[in-house]
Each structure stands twice: as structure tokens, then as C-alpha cells.
Structure 1
């Protein structure tokens, strides 16, 4: 960090080429981004935790093993379910079939395995993909601890024994184990194994009590899930009341302006209701009990309504029609929406009509959350990846998580680039949804370390924008001679090279012999995926555009190399090659400075080494058993 700060301070103060600010400023900005990224990685490694073997768990705990499925092959699901049924610790195995397939139900029943599909309560309600499937199963089962497995993650018989002992600590809500894939070659051309994440990164996060829930191969304490579910329900009701009072404030403010000259008794009544609205909003902000706030508010509105005895009959009849319409709207929605607020605020109300509309809004509060199939949703439904959001909510409530660094289930990784891109896009979109909706830096209940651990993962997905600049800068210099750095001087190299060397040493030391090059390649090579994830997640959160939910296929998708899906990378590769040739020609003809040209040629070669993985991935023909590597344990 000392070397990095020294380099970046020099870059900002002395080396920005302001005459070409259109490229030099973006470059120094993304370099600063990379320094922050290195800092966050270093913080993660600072408290890396290697846990001892947990104590043996009590034998009288109740455990439910959940196997989530939607459209995976029945034979694949049954392989996992049968392995789960052979887990040595007493438990109940359940197949959670979101596809409601009769053949899946018959296979489960024939094997004596529990089968759960959506209840009728979910008809005409949002389904929330895997999160909804798990929430539905939570309502139908009773186990104290839940083992969650994806349909392809075949568990070892000792998986529960190895994890359950961690829950002897009553503050532990979650235990996560690695995800390891048996259909991956030693080359791991699609970068599936993630040895850096399922190892040093998770262990580093564990040191900060921020080990992540990764959606599968994890155990969760039901009590903890139900607590955050109920907390979420209460917060949902509170939000509904806040929105309703916001609408009431607009209605009363407009009515007071329109009827200022009506008479003192009318003004007094409207002022009383306005004061009641402001008081109720303040009490909610102070976290007073919602039931008390709404009860006191309704009493004040009733008193104000009775104080008005003179009204215009025609205006009152029109108001009654609007109030009836409001009642119909309020009875079918979760809260008073912005469209209703605008409609109410625009309307010319009689004094009593304004007060009665406020009363009707409060009485129409939907405390049963009729827009959802279940009022309590323990698994977070605000993201296409429920795991990170759920885990962060557990941490905000003071629960602890554990990363258990032992392979206890073996799954199937994507066998083609198309499937891998679908999977990575969904992961990135879900992470950015959580960032935009529940920014960890702003969440109450998280420690500083936990905030940084969540933020570091979210921050990493912004690398797609940085990659564009890192690819463009050498191309611009080699083709047009535009220097993003004021001079490639001794000062430049003396500051940059030590920082780069130490940065790579940090990865080398943290990896402890694990292969990390593939992960570094994909962090840059998938830059169009990261950009798309950021933009589509923002469109979803800010404008309500649908993301959809794509289940990762568990078999290879035929159709030949998906060149169209990696067109941006191919264009970048072609541009880098052209730039290298152009730069050499310019240098030998005296148009390009030798030092700058050679530096940027080296930069281009590095970018090409990184991006070349995407071509090999497109040509990858899938896994064959003879290529596999045997697991020797972690």
C-alpha cells in the first residue's frame, strides 16, 4: 500500500497529461480503482483464519437437507438426493421441485425421499426463483438446521457431522463449505474451481466474521433465518406506513392551502391532522412501535373529523366516490404507490373529504403483505442471487458465519462458455442488485470489517469499466501517439514496477501454492459481462426492468463456439494486434518514442495473454472422464 500510494500520488500530481485529459484522466482514475481493489484484497488477507476441527455435535438436533431443483434432469437430482439420504447424521431429505414435475415426485416417493413443491398460496404472486422455493420449503418443514444443496452437489456421508459442531456456538447462523467440481480438467479452462475464493478469500472474510453464504453446500440455523424474516416483515410494514403517511401529508397540505379561508374550526381540524401526520412520521423515524403509532394517529384523525360540521354536500359526494376508489386500490396493494399519491395530491378535496381520505389510507394498510405469497420471507428476495443478501442480513442482526475449509460435496461445473457466461452474469447481477438496494457501507449492525468485506466483492464487479480503459490506453498511444502519461521517465518506472511486483507477490503469498492465474485472466476477459451486469442491475433497481432468472444448465449446450457472445473481446484482441503492429511501424519510422512504444507493446502483450483465455474457452469441447483430476482434499 505504501508503494501504491506513492505511485498514485505521483501520477495525480506530476504525470497526468492534461493536454490529452480525455484518456489520461480516465486512466489515472482506473489506476486508483485498482489501488483500492488491492487495498481491499490486502485487508481481506490481513485476518485470514484457519479454523480447527469443530467439536462433535449433539445427536438430538433436527436437520432438514434441502435439494433445490427446477428443470435439471431427474436422474441428476436423484443422484444427489440419494446421496443426501445416506448422510450419516439423523435427518430428513427433501427435494424442492420448483418445476412441479409429476415424474420427479414419483421418483422421490419411490425412494422414500420427501417432496415439496409450491403451495397454492403462490398462484398469481411473485415466485422469487430459488429464494421463493426455499421460503416455501421453510414454511413446510420444521428442522432446526438446514443443509442446502444444489441439484448437482452430491454430498459426502459425513457432511453434517463435519459442519454441525460449529453450531455449538449459539451465535453461529451459517456454515459454508467449498464448492468443488469433479468435471473440471487440471487446466480449468472455464475458471470454475475458484481456488482463491474457496480458500484464502473466504478464510480472510471469515477472520472478519463475514464468510459468505454461496447458495449451496451450506448449513443454516432456522432460528436465525426466521429472525431476519420477521425483521424484514416488520420493516416492510413500517415502509408501508411511511409511504401512507407521505401520501396523507400531501393531501392535508393541499387541503389546508385550498380552504384557508373556510373558517377557524376547519383550519383547526386540518392543522390537527397535519400535526398528527408529522408526529407519526417522526415517531416512525424514532423506531416507535408501528401499532402504537398508527393507533394514536387514527384517534387524532377521528377527533379532527368530528370537529367539522359544515361541508358542501356536492363536494362531499364527489369525495366519497374518490374515497371508495382509494379503498379498492388500497385493498389490493402492499402500500400506497407513487401514482396514488400523485392522484390524491392533485385532487381538490373538501375539508372532511381530505380527512376521510387520510383515515381510509391508514385503514387500508396491508399488514398481511397480500402482494406476496407468504408474509414472512426469510430468504432475501431482492436479488437474483439470494445468498449474499440473506447472509448480509444475518450479519446485521449480530449472527456469525463460519467458513469450513473442507470439501464435503462435489458438483458439476459449466462445460461450455455459453453456460459459464450465463452463470457469471447472474452472480454479478445479483451482487450489484444487493449493492444498489442494501449498500453494505450504509447498513446498521455491520462492523467496519464486515462492511469492507461485502463492499470488496461488489467493488470488484466495477472492473469491467476499468478494463475498457486498460485496453484502450495502449491502443490509443500506439496508433495515434497520444500519451496518457506525461512522460515514461525514470520516475514512472521507479514507482510503478515495485508496486506491480509487490502486488503480484501479495497474490502469490495469499494463494499459498494455489493456481490463481485463471481467475486473474477472467477478471479482465469477462469485462463485457461485468459491464452488462452493472447496467442491467441498475436498470432493474432504478427503473424496474426485469432481469429474469436463468437456471445454470447442468449439461453441455450444443451449437458450436459462441463467437457472437464474445464479440467485444474479439474486437479488443484484433485492435490490440493492429495497435502493436502500428506502434512498431511508427517507432521504426521515427514517429513513435522508443521507450513509450516498448512499454505499451509489453502492455498489449499482457492484455493479449489475459484475453486469449476467452478464445480457448469458446473452443472448449467439454469434459471427458479421462481428463479429470482426482481430489486429494484441501
Structure 2
């Protein structure tokens, strides 16, 4: 172990211990219960930050700096360039660079916009062109994941290099990464950094993420949890196809079991009707026994197709024997069932049975034959050919508007491994205006929270403890918006109203808080190893309305069923319109309130109505908040990237290559 990694471990351990000492003291001895309405939220926010510290320390505990792969590159490769509405010139620049990759491969443009002029440009350049097949018409499209899934079933390369339309690859990207797959046949994914060439030195939009594409991914890699980031990654086709098949089987099994349970409830309800004749009651009970047998066979691993076919045959036989029942009642009941019982979730790749609708059906009066027809409709709706989908098997995860993290987590849960290769091998374009950047960050956060709500890593089977923590740590970070509101509100409340959230600004407070804060900052400095991280720290607080909006909209989507729009990030220059002041009004309002609170607080000290120590502490706190939030004013006024006269020096922590294009 190197001296640097030993220092990281010592600092990580100290940071956690000092944080526990401070937060426990805050809960047990310093909460001002007379002002519980701000004191309790503040200590909860501090507890949130401590958990964040623990997760970061765990991430860095096993950080891995990998050597280059020892095996030579081998295997067939398809290069996928995904596009929807990006300029054709941009797409073709990436495609032509991909064609020049030195390792033998086949380059494909995956055009979700189905543009004839792009198809023609691809043909003229000798580049493959794919768009959605007719099977996708009037079916859930699943955004980028659907585009990739469509291409997977039309190509046959053993490995897939996935690139966004703006990510121009280095000619050696495959030469330098394919060896990992030969070194270890369990490797399913190799992720390389994303680096942007149209970012100013000051990086006012915080587009570069050298801390993430570096120490953090290396830390996750140490736990075999480095995840797919949507582009600049190589994936093993066999792993993706296994993922698709396993997901298909699991979803189908869950859907069939749910349908059979609902069927059994309806049959039991009908059989309990004392007004029925003994013959009809016996028929309904016989069918209920058939459904029970089907459930038992499924539990023992029986083939789904055979089990559902047997139930369908029993239903048909029962229907013929009861055909003289009241047909009018049947039509009404079956029509209601068809509309309510089984639906397809457009984002979650599975059949979804409307439990509330089935519950209402199970407690209402239905004619016997209508109940039997309902059972048949439920079983038919979960056919193995998945008529509601364009293709039965969807290898890349479709449970989120961002397919990358969800796919990687499911691969890890199946026992596959991932690699983070710390070398810039593609150069892309970042958003050049604040409005576009805000939409991009919102989509990232929404997708991450969708995964948390639909497939919580803490409960996911197949993941190791370390993998659970690594995935949860990324998801946990997007809850910071709620803590940020408290951190902004607390000093304002004290300076304006004199309400103290702690019992006193005593020696005990500073003796516990300052060591925790200082060691935490030193840990960041040592981990960063010269990387500029301040801009990332600013945006983690300054984008608090975005993080809150992402949590709320993701919850509304997953729990309440409200739609969630997918927005493709614009990367072809600044969006139309002036500075988006309206889109950052919460931050601007907070800055105004912080400034007013500072003036009032100082005035109260001069008037002798406020404590000098408390005012000083909170004034420093306010100053820090204002400096952090000020990045948004700079970002709103940003006029876009101006290419430097001379090429920038390579980043110290990442081996940086010149982009393979001749002009920015």
C-alpha cells in the first residue's frame, strides 16, 4: 500500500470518528429543544452529512489504480453511436473518428430520429446505419435504452463500444481496453472517463468531473462497483443478453404469479356465492384448484408457457360448460376487466397488474362465467411473447430515464465484474449554457432516484455489501437538496430572529465541530491529489432546487404513476434566450435573504440585542453560502466556450490525449 493510500485510510477513519463524536454530541447535548422547529431539522441535516462522509470514506477505503491489461485485445466489436436530434455534422465527426479506430470493428450509427439525410451520409462514408424496426411502432420506446436494445438484436459483435453522438473516440480506445475482458472472462464492463473539450478553464458550469472520473470511480472499482456512465464504455454482449433473458424470465414469472393470485381471489369470491347452483359452484371450485396447481408448479420451477397454457385450457373447458349464463353481465364485466386489470408500464419493463382495480373486482358481484372469462383475460395478458413490447427481451435496463447505472447494477447482481480504466480515450462536448446544464443535471438525478425507488441496492439480491454501499452512496447524494435548504435557512433565522438552534456557541461546540470539518477538508485535498474540486463542491449545494425537483418528480413517477419527460442534452452551442434568471430564482432569493440577514445581524450586535459570537459564526456561515451560490451568477452570464489560443496542459491525474479532430 502506497503512502498516499495509507494517508487516505487514516484520514477517512479520523473523519468518520470525529463526525460520529460531533453528531452524537449534537443529538445528546446541544439541541435547543425550545426552538425544535429549526434545531431538529438542522441536526438531521448534519446527520445526513455524516452519512455522506461515511459513504465517501468507504468509497475511498479500497481505491484502486489499475495497471494496463496484460492480455492483447481480442474479439469482434460493434461501435454504437447513439443519436436522436444532434446535428448531422456532429454525428458524422464522431462516426468518422470511430471508423478510424485501429482495432478491427464495425461502426454503427443508431439514429432514433430516423433521418434520411443522416442515413445517406452514413452510406456515403461506409458506416452502418440502424434505426428502430417497425416492431417499435406504437410501443414503449424506452429512450436511449430502447435504441441500444434495438441495435443489439440486429448486430452480433462480441463486445460493444457505446459512444454518445458528441464523444469523439481516440484511435486506441479498443487497443487499450479490450484486454481486460481477456484477463478476466467475468468482466462485463470497462468504463473510461468523459472529458469535454469545450469547457473554459474556470469551468463555470461545472461540466468537468475529475473527482468522479478519477478517485471516486477508482474507489468504486475497488469494491467491484464502477458503473456504466452511458458513453465511452465497452460492454460484453453475452453479459447484456444474459441480463435481458434473466430480466425477462423474472418479470414474466412475477406477472404470472400476480395474475394467478388475482384469479384465485376472484374465483374464491364467486364460489362463496350461496345463490349459485351446486353445479356452477363445483365448476368454479374446480377451476380454482387448477389455478392453485398452476401456482404450485410455478413455485417448483415449471415452464411458464406450459403452466399458463394449462390454465387457459381449463378456462376454455369451464367456459364451454357454463356458456348458458347471463351473457349481458359477462360483456359488462369483461369490458371493465380489459380496461383495468392488466396494464403495461411504459418505463418499467414488466407487466403491471392494477391491484386496486383487481381488488374492486374481487369484492363485487360477478356472474360465474364472467369470473372465468376474467381469469382467462388475466392469463392471456401475460403471454410469453410480450405483445405490449417491441421485443420480448430488453438487455439494457429500462426502469429509469438513464439506463446506465441501472444496467451496471443488474450486471453486478448477476455476478459480473466491471473495470474503471483511468485514461481519457474520448473527447466530448458539454452544455454551453446554464439552462441546458440544469436540464441535464435534473435528468441525471431523476434517473438515479428512479433506480433507488424501483430497485433499491440495499435490498437487491446478488450485490455484495460493498456494492450496495457504492450504489446507495451515489443515490444518497441526490437527497442533499433537502439538507441544503436547512443549511441555508439556519443562519438566516438566527441573524434575523436570534433563534439559536444549539444550546450555546460554547467551547464544546468548536472543539467537536472544527476537528471534524478540518479533517474532512484535508481528506478531500489528499484524495483529489491536485484535482480542482471546488466547482463540484459549489454545485452540490447551489443546485439544491434541482435535486429536490428530481426527488419529487421521480417519486411522483414511480409511486403515483405520473409521466416523466426524457430530455436529450443539447451540445451544439448555447440555447436561445438570455440568462435563465427565472430558472434559478430559489438560489437568487436565498442570496438576497442571506445578505439581508447579515446586515440585520450586524445591526443587532451594534444595538446590543444579539450575541457577538453567534453573529460572527453565522456571518462566516453566510459568507460561505454566498460564495458557493455565486457560481450561478457567473454561470448565468456565461457566453459560451471560447477556444484557447494554446492547448491546455494535460490534467495531472489523468493521461490526456489530444482530441482526434482538427477543429473544436
Question: In which range does the TM-score fall when normalised by the shorter chain?
Answer: over 0.9
Q: Using the alignment, how far apart are the partners of 2:377 and 2:164 within structure 1? A: 46
CA distance in 1, matches of 2:508, 2:484: 25
The question of 1:382 aligning with 2:394 is answered: no
- What SS class does the counterpart of residue 564 from structure 1 fall into? helix
Partner of 1:579: 597
> 2 CA distance for matches of 1:467 and 1:329?
42
Residues 347, 382 of structure 1: alpha-carbon distance in 2 compared, 3 angstrom cutoff? same
Structure 2 equivalent of residue 604 of structure 1: 622
Residue 485 of structure 1: how far off its partner (Å): 0.7
In the TM superposition, 1:117-516 aligns within 5 A as: 117-168=131-182, 169-259=184-274, 262=276, 267=281, 269-278=283-292, 280-281=294-295, 284=298, 289-291=303-305, 293-294=307-308, 297=311, 305=318, 313-315=324-326, 318-319=329-330, 322=333, 337-338=354-355, 341-342=358-359, 344-351=361-368, 353-516=370-533
Q: 1:68 to 1:314 in 2, by over 3 A?
A: closer
Match of 2:581 among 559, 563, 572: 563
SS in 2 for 1:441: coil
Contact in 1 for aligned 2:323/2:369 (Cα 8 Å):
no
Shift of 1:349: 3.2
User: Does structure 2 conserve the Cα–Cα contact (< 8 Å) formed by 1:177 and 1:405?
Assistant: yes
> Is 1:629 equivalent to 2:648 in the alignment?
yes
Cα offset, 1:380, TM superposition:
1.1
Counterpart contact for 1:64–1:92, Cα < 8 Å: yes
Say whether the 8 Å CA contact 1:16–1:24 is kept in structure 2: yes
Q: Give the drift of 1:75.
A: 0.9
What corresponds to 1:43 in structure 2? 58
Structure 2 distance, partners of 1:443, 1:493, is: 41
SS in 1 for 2:188: strand
1:529 maps to which of 546, 553, 567: 546
Counterpart of 2:660 in structure 1 is: none
More divergent stretch after superposition (563-572 vs 285-294) = 285-294
Deviation at 1:160, TM superposition (A): 0.4
User: In 1, distance between residues paired with 2:342 and 2:579?
Assistant: 52
Q: How far does residue 278 in structure 1 lie from its aligned partner after superposition?
A: 4.8
Of 121-130 and 326-335, more deviation after overlay is shown by 326-335
**Which moves more between the two structures, 210-219 or 340-349?**
340-349
Shift of the 416–255 alpha-carbon distance from structure 1 to 2, 3 Å rule, reads: same
Task: After superposition, give the CA deviation of every residue in 1:304-339 in whole Å (9 maximum; x if it has no partner).
Answer: x49x97x79453664377458867998996565447
Q: 1:142-192 deviations in whole A, cap 9, x for unaligned?
A: 111000001111111000011100001110000000000111122111111
Give how far 1:362 is off: 2.3
In the alignment, is residue 12 of structure 1 matched against residue 27 of structure 2?
yes
Q: Secondary structure of the equivalent of 1:440? A: coil
Q: State how many pairs are aligned.
A: 629
Q: Report the secondary structure of 1:159's partner residue.
A: coil
Question: 2 CA distance for matches of 1:536 and 1:317?
Answer: 43
| 1:352 CA drift (Å) | 5.1
Structure 2 counterpart of 1:76: 90
8 Å contact kept, 2:83–2:113: yes
Q: Which has the higher mean CA deviation after the structures are superposed, 265-274 or 554-563?
A: 265-274
Kept after mapping to 2: 8 A contact 1:97/1:116: yes
Between the aligned partners of 1:355 and 1:101, the Cα distance in structure 2 is 49
Tell me how far apart the structure 2 counterparts of residues 23 and 365 of structure 1 sit (CA, whole Å).
51
1:401 is paired with a residue of what secondary structure?
A: strand
**How far is 1:236 from its partner?**
2.2
Provide the rounded CA distance (Å) in 2 between the counterparts of 1:194 and 1:247.
49
Q: In 2, Cα distance between the equivalents of 1:508 and 1:286?
A: 56
Structure 2: give runs of 5+ residues left out of the alignment: 1-15, 345-350, 656-664
What CA distance in whole angstroms lies between the structure 2 residues aligned with 1:549 and 1:181?
A: 23
Distance change (3 Å), C-alpha of 1:480 and 1:354: same
Tell me by how many angstroms 1:47 deviates.
0.5
TM superposition score normalised by structure 1: 0.94
The answer to whether the 8 A contact 1:76-1:151 is kept is yes
Residue 3 of structure 1: aligned partner: 18
Which residue number in structure 2 is paired with residue 100 of structure 1?
Answer: 114
| Contact kept in structure 2, 1:315 and 1:349, CA below 8 Å | no
1:277 shift after superposition: 4.0
Contact preservation (8 Å) 2:342, 2:378: no
Equivalent residues of 2:333, 2:366 under 8 A apart? no
**Contact 1:247–1:344 (CA under 8 A) maintained in structure 2:** no
Does the 8 Å contact 1:276/1:297 carry over to 2? yes
In the TM superposition, residue 256 of structure 1 has moved relative to its aligned partner by 2.5
What is the CA–CA distance in structure 2 between the aligned matches of 1:99 and 1:525, rounded to whole Å?
35
TM-score, length-normalised on structure 2?
0.90
Structure 1 residue 222: Cα displacement:
0.5
- The structure-2 alpha-carbon separation of the partners of 1:496 and 1:329, relative to structure 1 and needing over 3 Å to count, comes to closer
In 2, Cα distance between equivalents of 1:286 and 1:21? 55
Q: Secondary structure at the match of 2:458?
A: helix
Structure 1 spans left out of the alignment, 5+ residues? none
| Deviation (angstroms), 1:248 | 0.6
Q: Could you say what secondary structure the match of 1:157 adopts?
A: coil
Q: CA deviation at 1:511?
A: 1.0
How far apart, in 2, do the equivalents of 1:278 and 1:11 lie? 56
CA contact (8 A) 2:90 2:165 kept: yes
Paired with 2:252 and 2:86, the residues of 1 have a C-alpha distance of 37
* SS of residue paired to 2:505: coil
